[in-house]
Chains A and B, each alone.
Chain A
Amino acid sequence: MNDPAPSQDAFESALAARTAPLHTGSKSTRVLGVLALVLLVSLLAFALVITPPEVSQRDSFRLLYLHVPSAIVSLYVAFAITLVGSIIYLRKQSVFWDLLAGAAAEVGVLFLGITLVTGMLWGKPTWGVYWQWDPRLTSTAVSFVLYAGYLAVRKLDMDPVVRSRRAAVLGIVSFLNLIIVRYSVQWWRGLHQGQTFDVADTQMDGVMLFTALLGVITMHVVFAWLVIHRFRVAWLEHQADEAGLDVALRERRAEGANV
């Protein structure tokens, strides 16, 4: 005998009963969103118009106002959140930390992708080629694949609890590996050649320094906004799964009562 599919009404009421908001926005995140937008627009204005071109790299330098902050946010903030979330999940089995770890990694991979693309675009006029076996570029590429693998595990079609646990282990080990990759690649290239491009050598005046700082702040705010929303979507998905289970349980019980 086939189970009747739970009706849409029963599902929606079960979902509504589980959790208060059924949307991802809230007053504070709307403020955060507007702030992110304002910061982005002003970053564009400063990076593209107001700052002068850099002495030796000219206009291509402007890419770095986006490139460097994306790298900082993904490598130092996003994957650290994934690490912490994974550790806490394994200790407490709290869905909150599992979903947060996943949301941070997803946005982190996006930012790392931005880092790679802007890095290559910047490399073409600066080095004459899109790809240089520069230590940072190379280790960033490996890190990108590393966390793409983490996201692939999170997407697996399997028991959610087992999947979360395996993802958490992976989230921890990946961070360990991130460090190994970074240092070994730096060590490798360091033997053959010095840093291709030394940040300390560039001449940055007041406006440029301000723009660089603005870039870092902007990307953090954008990151926070994206992660909060990604987290809330994941949370709602989780609630929807559970609500589906609630409905199925209730229908089974009703079946039992009717016999």
Chain B
Amino acid sequence: MLRDARLVASKDLRVEATSRVLTTQVLPFALLVLILFGFGISPDQQVISGAGEGTERVAILEKVAPGLFWLAVLFSTLLAIGRSFAIESVDGNLDALRMAGLDPAGVFLGKMSAVLAELLVLELVVGLGCFALYGPPLAHPVLLVTTVLSATLGIAAAGTLYAALAAGLRVRDTLVPLLVLPVLAPVLLAATLATEAALFGPDGDGWPWALLLGAFAVLYTGAGILAFGTLVEES
């Protein structure tokens, strides 16, 4: 299973290395979304933060940077998982993978790992963009890295599972967002809160959410391993 996973993952990453769809299209899209958020929420608007003596005025953009970061990641995820299965639907590739005797669980893990790797690269760039554009502080780097890793694992697992569900359909592009976004809603919630704690502190508020993200990731990786064979099997 793990050997098959490695094969599929390296195949997907090699396809990406030659086609560069994600780096030349999805990545600029994600950065554009960050800028558009700035237009939607005026950079001059401020909120009063803190209570009692320690109140200060902060830009709304800085305050909501964690949520905006994860929203940009979610939108890009839709494109990344769409791409991940678009390369399989031409010439019956998915059938070919199955006929080649690859373990479906391995195929799932492979595609998931490729999406995971792509998303992590994307998040690194988008994250730097967030710091540059919105200027939030960074109080707890360890919590931030843990949050990003566990949340992205969950996003990649659930995203791959649901994209497989819509694989090969003509309505794939419109169906996948409807299916995936409600599923990822808890991830957005937990990741935003954990990231808020990581940026502004105290980190004690963030760890339970990071734990929830980890649980989500494990749950959906398990679900994908179990269900992928059933999903890609034709009648």
Residues of A within 8 A of B (CB): 90, 142-143, 145-146, 148-149, 152-153, 156, 158-159, 161-162, 165-166, 168-170, 172-173, 176-177, 180-181, 184-185, 187-188
Is there an interface contact between A166 and B165, defined as CB atoms closer than 8 Å? Answer: yes
Question: Could you give 26 example pairs across A and B, Cβ below 8 Å?
Answer: A90-B230, A145-B178, A149-B178, A153-B165, A153-B175, A156-B171, A156-B175, A159-B234, A165-B233, A166-B165, A168-B230, A169-B165, A169-B230, A170-B165, A170-B179, A172-B227, A173-B183, A177-B186, A180-B216, A180-B219, A181-B186, A184-B186, A184-B189, A184-B212, A187-B212, A188-B193
Let me know if B124 is at the binding interface, CB within 8 A.
no
Q: Which residue of A lies closest to B180 (CB)?
A: A149
Check if B178 sits within 8 Å of A176, measured CB to CB: no
Q: Mark B170-182, 1 if CB is under 8 A from A, else 0.
A: 0100010011011
Q: Beta-carbon contacts of B207-235 to A below 8 Å, as 1s and 0s?
A: 00000100010010001000100110111
Return chain B residues, CB-CB under 8 Å to A172: 227
A-chain residues with CB within 8 Å of residue B175 when the two chains form the complex? 149, 152-153, 156
A177 B182 Cβ-Cβ under 8 A: yes
Instruction: Report chain B residues within 8 Å CB of A173.
Output: 161, 183, 223, 227
In the complex the two chains form, is B231's CB within 8 Å of A166's CB?
yes
Q: Give the distance in Å from the alpha carbon of A209 to the alpha carbon of B67 in the complex.
A: 43
- Docked Cα-Cα span, A168 to B233, in Å, equals 13
Determine which of A149, A159, A187 lies in contact with B179 in the assembled complex, contact meaning CB atoms within 8 Å: A149
> What B residues does A90 contact at CB under 8 A?
230
Contact across chains for A185 and B231 when beta carbons are under 8 A apart: no
* A250 to B: closest C-beta gap in Å: 22
For B235, the chain A residues whose CB sits under 8 A away are 159, 161-162
Contacts of B183 in A (CB 8 A): 146, 173, 177
Known A153-B175, A181-B186; further 8 A-B contacts with Cβ < 8 A: A145-B182, A156-B175, A166-B165, A168-B230, A169-B165, A169-B231, A170-B165, A177-B186
8 Å CB contact of B178 from A152, A168, A185: A152
Compute how far the CA of A176 lies from the CA of B223 in the bound complex, rounded to whole angstroms: 10
Q: Is the interface of A mostly helix, strand, loop or mixed?
A: helix
Set of chain B residues within 8 Å of A188, measured between Cβ atoms: 189, 193
- Which residues of the partner chain A approach B216 to less than 8 Å between Cβ atoms? 180
Residue of B with least CB distance to A167: B165
CA distance A153 to B231 in the complex (A): 13
Total inter-chain residue pairs, C-beta < 8 Å: 66
B96 within 8 A of A: no
Indicate whether A181 sits within 8 Å of B185 (C-beta atoms), given known contacts A145-B178, A159-B235.
Answer: yes
Residues of A within 8 A of B179 (CB): 149, 152-153, 170
B178 contact set on A, CB distance < 8 A: 145, 148-149, 152
Contacts of A165 in B (CB 8 A): 230-231, 233
Pairs of residues from A and B, 9 with the lowest C-beta to C-beta distance, nearest first? A184-B186, A161-B235, A146-B182, A149-B179, A145-B182, A169-B227, A149-B178, A180-B186, A142-B185
With an 8 A cutoff between CB atoms, is B65 at the interface? no
Q: How far is the CA of A180 from the CA of B183 in the complex (A)?
A: 9
For the complex, what is the distance from the CA of A213 to the CA of B178, rounded to whole Å?
A: 36
Measured CA separation A148–B185 after assembly (Å): 15
Instruction: Establish whether residues A185 and B189, one from each chain, have CB atoms under 8 Å apart when the complex forms.
Output: yes
The one of A142, A159, A168 that contacts B182, using a Cβ cutoff of 8 Å: A142
Bound CA span A181–B183, Å: 8
When distances are taken between beta carbons in the complex, the residues of chain B under 8 Å from A161 are 235
A189 CB, min distance to chain B CBs, angstroms: 10
A173, closest chain B residue (CB): B223
| A95, B78: Cα distance in complex, Å | 33
For residue B132, CB closer than 8 A to chain A, the reply is no
Q: Does B169 contact A (CB under 8 A)?
A: yes
Check B115 for interface membership: any CB of A closer than 8 A.
no
Specify which chain A residues have a CB less than 8 angstroms from the CB of B227 in the assembled complex: 169, 172-173
B212 contact set on A, CB distance < 8 A = 184, 187
**Is B182 in contact with A185, judged by CB distance below 8 angstroms?**
no
CA distance A201 to B231 in the complex (A): 48
**CA A158 to CA B186, docked complex, whole Å:** 31
Question: Bound complex: CA of A176 vs CA of B220, how far in Å?
Answer: 10
**Cα A173 to Cα B230 with chains together (Å):** 13
B190 at the interface (CB under 8 A from A): yes
Q: Please judge, given known A-B contacts A152-B175, A170-B179, A173-B223, whether A185 and B186 are in contact too, CB under 8 Å.
A: yes
A74 CA to B72 CA, complexed, in Å:
33
Nearest Cβ in chain B — how far from A98, in angstroms?
Answer: 13
